[in-house]
Structures are given as structure tokens and as C-alpha cells.
Structure 1
Amino acid sequence: MPIIQSPYKAIGLFKNAHFSTIYSAKIRRVHGVSQNRKRLELPDGDFVDIDWSYTDSSLSRKRASKVALLLHGLEGDAQRPYMLGMAKLLVNNGYDVAALNFRGCSGSQNRLYRSYHSGDTRDISHLVNMLSSLSYSMINLYGVSLGGNALLKYLGEGHIIPNKVKAAACIGVPVDLKASLEQLEKRENIIYRTSFLIHLRTKFRKKMNCFPKLMRLEDYRKIDSLKTFDDLYTAPAHGFENALDYYTKASSYQYLNRIKIPTLILNAKNDSFLHGNCYPTQEAKNNDDLFLEMPAHGGHVGFYTRSSFYYNETRSLEFFEEHSS
């Protein structure tokens, strides 16, 4: 599909990548979203918590005919502004919303040594199949950053995707994990990688208390970069040889040509998290179901507008409605 010419125009300070990213993550507030948490037990004995928002918030409600599954980014959760904003817009337009908290991201530590990672699609597949078994006639999928990479991989790696799944939208997606890591390691991105490291080191320490035979204090002390964390935890916990093996196998870039569901990738050209193959222009041109939109501005999921909703939210809803017949 030809590259989409984006109509998005950033205003004022939001033309600055860092300002738009930080404002959107730390300052933006979204009010009026009601969430009802339900725990989903998984086949391997673990669980995930799903925060539901309904078109009718009463307990005796009649279920909507359409539902959207929302997936957050690295060390995020269903209460992040980019999740709440999308949930609010969807509910306002007749959708029920299932916002997934990846394993260990809901405030409750998951039970197993493993947790979640950028290429983990098993829980997504399980949840999509569960949604398909309900009375909804339409399912749309939405992923941000890490969640977007996992969603793209799910769509392209060979899962049996229910016919009810009509469209997907992925925002700020590091489809090439190694390229994204190299970008985050640059000096100007120290604030982001430091924030991630603080969260990841804290989780490592907590999980170490539960699995002392698998996780050592000396390893915890070695974690001084995202790559080191992936070498010492992500890779061994999830069956990869090392961090580089993880980045190679978990990147969705290699699966984009196999996607057969209408899918939007919205990646800002000034996104500080993205580089190189994270802008898959040739793959979009060669796949009629892959739509790539690359606004000049927006930072990392910071597509601010003067309205109540961000451009990535209204654009995703528009894409869903266009491709959900």
C-alpha cells in the first residue's frame, strides 16, 4: 500500500520531539474513564489483569457489538494517558474496551519466573480468542510501542486469527528492536533509558526475592543498560540465547509482509525511540494490508491536538471504522 501522507501538524512546542513525548507521558491527564478489572487465568498457570471499559457502565448492561483490545508499551499499564485516551474515545463511539496489562504490569507480580517481552504473542492470541468467543461481532486491535511490536508480530507470524478481527492500529512502534535500542542509547535519550532502567531494576529485585535460585544479587548489580537487563533477565527467562538473539527473533519487522488484516503503523519521523527499519516503507509498499503513516512530528506517542483526543486516537478510530465493514 502506498505510504499515507499524514495531515497531522504539530503546534508550538509540540514540534519538539522531547517536549511532545514527555508532556504526553507525564503531564497529560485523561478523565472520565471507568475501568472494571478482571483477572484472566492463563494456560501456563500465570495470569493477566484486564481493565474493561464499557459503553454501558452498569453491571446489568447489554454488551456492545464491537470491542477493542488495547496493548501498552514497555513498563506501562492500562492507566497510562495514551491507553485512557484511546479507551475513552472508543467507548464514546460504541466500543467496549479490553485494556491488557502485560504480565507483572498491573501492580500485582505475576506468578512465574517469566513475565512479558516485545515479541511475546501467546497472551495476545489467548485474549483475542477469548474475545472472539463472546457475543461481539467485531474486534479491533490497538498497540503502542512495545505493545505495537507484539501486535504486529502476532498478526504476521502465523496465528489463526479469528474472522471477527477486522483491523489493527500500532503507534510509535519499534519494529526493529536492535535499531530502537541503538537509538535509545544515544546521549540525548538518557532520560528515557534511565526511566526504563529504574523500573526494570526494581522489578528484577522484586522477582529475585521469589526466584533466588534463578536470579542473583551480583546480576542485579550489573544492570546498567537496557541490553544488560535483556542479557541477564529477558533472554534467559523467555528462551533466548542472549539479548541480540531476543532482538532478532522478537522484532516484528520480519513479519510485516505476512500481515493480512488491514493494519496502520503511525510512526513520527522525529520519534526519539525509532531509527532505520522502524520506518518500514518498502514493506508497506509491498503489502496491500499494511498502511504506514509518518508525520514529521509527534515524538514518541505525543500527537497532541487542541481537542480532547490525540491525533493517534482519532486516526486509529477512523482507520477502524473505514476497515471494519
Structure 2
Amino acid sequence: MPHVSDTSYHAPFWQWNGHVQSIYPSMFRKVDFQYDHRERLELADGDFVDLDWHQQNRDQKKLVIITHGLEGDSGRHYVTGMAKIFVAQGWDALGWNCRSCSGEPNRLLRFYHHGDANDLRAVIQHAIDTYGYENIVLVGFSMGGSLSLRLVGEFPDQVSAAVKKVIGVSVPCDLYASVQALSQPGNSVYVKRFLKKLGKKIQEKSIRYADQISYDGYQQIKNFIEFDNRYTAPLHGYTDALDFYVRASVKPLLPKIQIPVLLIQALNDPFLSEACIGYEAAAINPNILLETTAAGGHCGFMLAGTHETYAERRAVSFVKEL
């Protein structure tokens, strides 16, 4: 599929740059949507993830599975907004929470990260085996987009035939390039917020696993490289932060994807540099439709005069024939 530089999307006039387009919806957007129930999925390694469902018409056997971003959860506005618009089109919706993100600490020492889509694989298989879904669409935001794309690109021959399409929004396809972008002085607000939220989890784990992880000196960590060197890499089998960024980046997997993908990325996204945009993959893989917008920020894409976003409308349009 081609790369489309979209000029039809315009952010509300008062959201004048990528920072406002990222921060305002994160803080103030409210979505009138409720899940039906929560289900706990026990994982093979003894941990768990919590699944939030809206199941209105299982006979249709159509399900959208939505994956949140780093330190997000199923209640984030971009997840519930996407769930709401799919439900309005007759789909069931599942917003799942990565380990430690559902409001309850996970059991094991490890967390979740960009380079491991196994929990998402378990969620998909559970949806198929337990509820019989035959048409599944994956939608992922930021890190959740990395996981969704990794799932269909890492082992493309093993992807269930039930998984029909993938939509990735604001995906940092190149992790090191994204870390560099976030290291710019104007982006420190995002890094501080992430480190604060992650720090609470590190502190909790340091109490339960005192002989394996320490919170001492955490306040001296100022950027993702320092955090990933100290925690992400050793906890998840990487040599160091740079090894993690290389091996966990989804960019090398994009050419291998064999099902239709819509990748939406804003050129003013403060989390992304040019290296994060999927230009090369869209040029060589006919399964990938890349849409770049001049505005939108990070997981923003709000529209004036409506509670829906451009990303939500494009997602349902992309899967309308299923």
C-alpha cells in the first residue's frame, strides 16, 4: 500500500502544536463508554493480565482488541474512544491491561515492554478459544502499537487466521530514535511523568523482591536510557538499554507483515522523530498503508465539533468490509 500524506485532518484551531494536541486529550478528554465486565486471564508463567470487555453481539464473532501505551490502561481516553466507535459499528470490544497496569501489581518481578508480544498472543488465543471470535482486529497506541505490529510481524506464519487487520497509532517504530526525541529539552514533561509512574512500581517491587531489585537512588534517574539500563534491560533479558532498543524495536519486523496494516503517525508527534515513521516499510511492503498527518500530536488526533478522533474514524473505515 502507498504512503499517504493526509491533508484532510486538521486539529482544532486552539490546539496549536503537537504538545497541546498530545497533552489536552490526555488530561481532559472524557469518553462516555463503559465496559461490561472484567476478566482475569491467568498466564502460563504464573502471572496474569486483566481484560475489560464490552460484549454485545457474540453471534457476529467480530472483536476489536485494543492495546494501550506505556503506563496506560484500558481506561485511557484513546482506548475507550476506539472501543466506543467499534461498538457503535456492531463489534465487541476488548481493552486489555498489560502486566501491572490494571490497578493491581503483577505477581512476577518482570513487567511488560515493547519487545514481548506473548501476552497479547495469549489474549488473542483466549478470545478465540473461549468465545469463538472469527474476525479480530488489533488496534494499538504507541507501545501498544509496537506490540500489535510485533505480533503479526515477528512470526507471520503463526498468526491466527482470525486476525484480519492491524491499526497502529503513534507507534515509535524505532525505540532509540524515540528515546532521543524524548530527550530533547522541550519534552522533559513526558519523561518525568513516565518515570514518576514507573518509579511507584519499582518501589513496590523492591519491597517484594528486595534481593533482586532496588529502589535506592531512583530519584537520580533523569531519562529513559538510565531507567532502561538499570531496570528494563536486566529484568527482561537484554544486555543494556541500547540492546533493548535494537532488539525490541518493531521497525525491522514491518517488512515481514502479511496482513493489512494501517499506520497513522503525526509529523508533529513529540515522541517520534523521522526515523520512527514507517516510510521504508510502506515503500516495500504492500500490506502497510502509512498515513502521516501534519498535526495530531501523540495519540491525540482530536476533531473539532465531535467527541470522536480522526484515528478512530480511520480505523473503522479501514475495517468496514469485515
Report the TM range for the smaller structure's normalisation: over 0.9
Q: Counterpart of 2:164?
A: 166
**Identical-residue share of aligned pairs (%):** 38
Partner amino acid for 2:307? S
Judge conservation of contact 2:109–2:209 (CA < 8 Å) in 1. yes
Residue 13 of structure 1 deviates from its aligned partner by 2.0
The 5-angstrom pairing of residues 2-151 of structure 1 reads 2-6=2-6, 7-55=8-56, 62-133=58-129, 134-151=131-148
Q: Counterpart of 1:155?
A: 152
The 5-angstrom pairing of residues 253-268 of structure 1 reads 253-268=251-266
Deviation per CA, 1:158-187, whole angstroms, max 9, x where unpaired?
151111111010000000000000000111
Matches of 1:171 and 1:120, distance apart in 2: 18
SS in structure 1 at match of 2:166 = strand
Q: Which shifted more, 16-25 or 171-180?
A: 16-25
Residue 320 of structure 1 deviates from its aligned partner by 1.5
Matches of 2:313 and 2:254, distance apart in 1: 24
SS in structure 1 at match of 2:102 = coil
Runs of 4+ in 1 over 4 A off after TM superposition: none
Matches of 2:211 and 2:35, distance apart in 1: 41
Q: Counterpart of 2:315?
A: 316
Partner amino acid for 1:151? S
The answer for unaligned runs of 5 or more in structure 2 is: none
Judge conservation of contact 1:14–1:298 (CA < 8 Å) in 2. no
The 5-angstrom pairing of residues 189-208 of structure 1 reads 189-208=187-206
Judge conservation of contact 1:15–1:298 (CA < 8 Å) in 2. no
Judge conservation of contact 1:54–1:96 (CA < 8 Å) in 2. yes
SS in structure 2 at match of 1:78 = coil
Judge conservation of contact 1:48–1:100 (CA < 8 Å) in 2. yes
- Number of matched pairs: 318
Matches of 2:48 and 2:76, distance apart in 1: 20
Deviation per CA, 1:182-239, whole angstroms, max 9, x where unpaired?
0001111111111111101111101111110111243534422221111111111110
Question: What is the root-mean-square deviation in Å for CA atoms of aligned residues?
Answer: 1.3
SS in structure 2 at match of 1:4 = strand
Q: Counterpart of 1:307?
A: 306
The answer for unaligned runs of 5 or more in structure 1 is: 57-61
Distance 1:130 1:217, change over 3 A: closer
Matches of 1:219 and 1:93, distance apart in 2: 50
Judge conservation of contact 1:55–1:64 (CA < 8 Å) in 2. no
Deviation per CA, 1:77-118, whole angstroms, max 9, x where unpaired?
000001110111111111111111000000110000101001
Judge conservation of contact 1:144–1:172 (CA < 8 Å) in 2. yes
The alignment's TM-score, normalised by the length of structure 1, stands at 0.94
